[in-house]
Amino acid sequence: MDKKQQFLNPEYSQGFVESPYVKQMCKITQLLYQHGWDERNGGNVSYRLTASEVNSYGDVHHIIRNIPIAFDASPLAGTYFLVTGTGRYFKNIIDYPQRDTGLVKIAQDGHSVDLLWGFCDGGLPTSEFPAHLMTHIERLKIDSNQRIVMHCHPTNLIALSFTVPLDEKTITRILWKMQAESIVVFPEGIGVLPYMTPGTNEIGAATAAKMSDYRLVLWPHHGIFASGDSMDEEFGLIETVEKAASIFTTIRSQGGPILSEISDENLAQLAARFDLTPTHEFMHGDTLAKMMRN
């Protein structure tokens, strides 16, 4: 951008901290904290930004430092991400976005990122950055509007991973049958990994592999990974899954037998009404009563 263009562009004199992207990040991380899904430093968010969105701000044009990453992110070379920092508390991001988040650009060789803004006390991207970037790579193959990856620790969903068999059909069908809304919001269902060590390339690769079929992946005994086009869509996906899991918790704590349920025929009616193509193999199976008896 030359001097005349800078003069004509009112945002150029603005700091990136004033951008809608940082504001959205502050708002969503605060909401995640308030929901109780991101205790301490739990959770992380990455937000893909385009060059034109970034370039209009005045304070993002030189490299503050280069940060190595331990895997090959070359399919994203040149791509910008606003990302939460490792060890940062979501409750604080709203007050210290320039400390607790950073704007990075993936370097050409894919093995490091250039920090352009943020992490002002020497911070680093989330330890789950491999899983985030691998997920962005996978989802961008399917959806060119893919923007956000969000990871958090929703209580009821984590609890359910201890009491229900860890298979995608059972967990999807239970969540679909907890409320009519579920199949409408995530007709493809939910991917499920075995328990794996967080912050590793292995869990990143396994998550990304699931993301070719799902936008939601359950990490048993830990949390959830979600991908999507906007903060609202993403947060809405997680809210809906966690609401279903909270109904499951409530049913369990009320005790007693299951006396009625959303039947497989009801699921088919919902799919027809909302013009959805749910994952076929999840549409028929055991009753809720049978699945909840394990």
246 binds, among Zn ion, ligand 13P, none (CB under 5 to 8 A by kind): none
CA distances (Å), 237 to each of 183, 226, 279, 294, in order?
A: 11, 8, 17, 26
Let me know: does 33 contact 91? Beta carbons within 8 Å: yes
Q: Which amino acid, one-letter code, is at 19?
A: S
**Nearest residue (CB) to Zn ion, 30 versus 266:** 30
Supply the minimum distance, in Å, between the C-beta of residue 243 and Zn ion: 20
Q: Tell me if 87 contacts ligand 13P by CB under 6 A.
A: yes
Question: How much is the CA Rg of the chain, to the nearest whole Å?
Answer: 20
**Nearest residue (CB) to ligand 13P, 196 versus 276:** 196
**Nearest residue (CB) to ligand 13P, 43 versus 118:** 43
236 binds, among ligand 13P, Zn ion, none (CB under 5 to 8 A by kind): none
CA distances (Å), 117 to each of 3, 57, 102, 168, 210, in order?
A: 21, 11, 6, 40, 32
Size of residue set near Zn ion by CB under 5 A: 1
Distance CA 256, CA 8 (A): 68
Site stretch for Zn ion (CB under 5 A), options 54-62, 70-78, 130-138, 223-231: 223-231
Catalytic sites, residue numbers: 128
Taking residue 125's Cβ as centre, other Cβ atoms within 10 Å add up to: 25
Residues in the chain: 294
CA distances (Å), 60 to each of 15, 64, 258, 286, in order?
A: 8, 9, 57, 55
Q: Tell me if 102 contacts ligand 13P by CB under 6 A.
A: no
Q: Tell me if 135 contacts ligand 13P by CB under 6 A.
A: no
Q: To 10 degrees, the CA torsion angle through 262, 264, 270, 275? A: 160
Q: Which of 29, 32, 33, 41 binds ligand 13P (CB under 6 A)?
A: 41
Q: Tell me if 43 contacts ligand 13P by CB under 6 A.
A: yes
Supply the minimum distance, in Å, between the C-beta of residue 187 and ligand 13P: 27
Supply the minimum distance, in Å, between the C-beta of residue 44 and ligand 13P: 4
DSSP H stretches of helix in the chain: 3-8, 20-34, 51-55, 90-93, 97-100, 129-142, 155-163, 168-177, 181-185, 201-210, 231-254, 264-273, 288-292
User: Interface mask (CB under 6 A) for ligand 13P, residues 114-133, using x and -?
Assistant: ------------xxx-----
Q: Which of 19, 44, 56, 170 binds ligand 13P (CB under 6 A)?
A: 44
Binding site for ligand 13P (CB under 6 A): 41-44, 86-87, 126-128, 151, 198-199
Binding site for Zn ion (CB under 5 A): 223
